Every structure is written in structure tokens, then in C-alpha cells.
Amino acid sequence: MLNNLDNTTNKQEREPLIERLKHPTVIQTICNTVCMSLFTVIFIIIYIILKLGLSDIIEK
């Protein structure tokens, strides 16, 4: 296990910066997940507001 971790660390050090940027990091993955969650929540809120707004208009 430790040997495997050392190998990946050395491999990352040998890779140029551009090559490393191509691979998504843990931070990028977390950010993408959070952004998608926020987008989904905002979309649901807008959808509910539109539904309530439309039902209010129909009731009038």
C-alpha cells in the first residue's frame, strides 16, 4: 500500500504540469459536485416558484 502511494507520487512529479491539470483532482471533483447540487437546488426552487405563480394566475 505505502509502496503504491510512493509510486503514484513519483509519477505525478515526473508528469509535466499541463498533463497533471488534465486529470481532475479531488478538489475539482468536489467543486463540480457542489456546483451541480447548487444548480439543481436553484432549478427546483425556480420551478416551484413558477408552478406557484402559474397556479395563482390560473386561480385569478
**What is the pLDDT, as a whole number, of residue 37?**
95
Q: CA 20, 35, 43: angle at the middle one, nearest 5?
A: 150
DSSP character at residue 60: -
Cα separation, 50 vs 29, in Å, equals 31
**What is the pLDDT, as a whole number, of residue 6?**
53
**What is the pLDDT, as a whole number, of residue 28?**
85
Q: Over the stretch 2-60, which tens digit does the pLDDT of each residue have?
A: 555 555 555 556 666 666 666 778 888 888 899 999 999 999 999 998 888 877 766 66
Residues contacting 23, CB < 8 A, separation 6+: none
pTM: 0.46
Q: CA 31, 37, 41: angle at the middle one, nearest 5?
A: 145
**What is the pLDDT, as a whole number, of residue 58?**
66
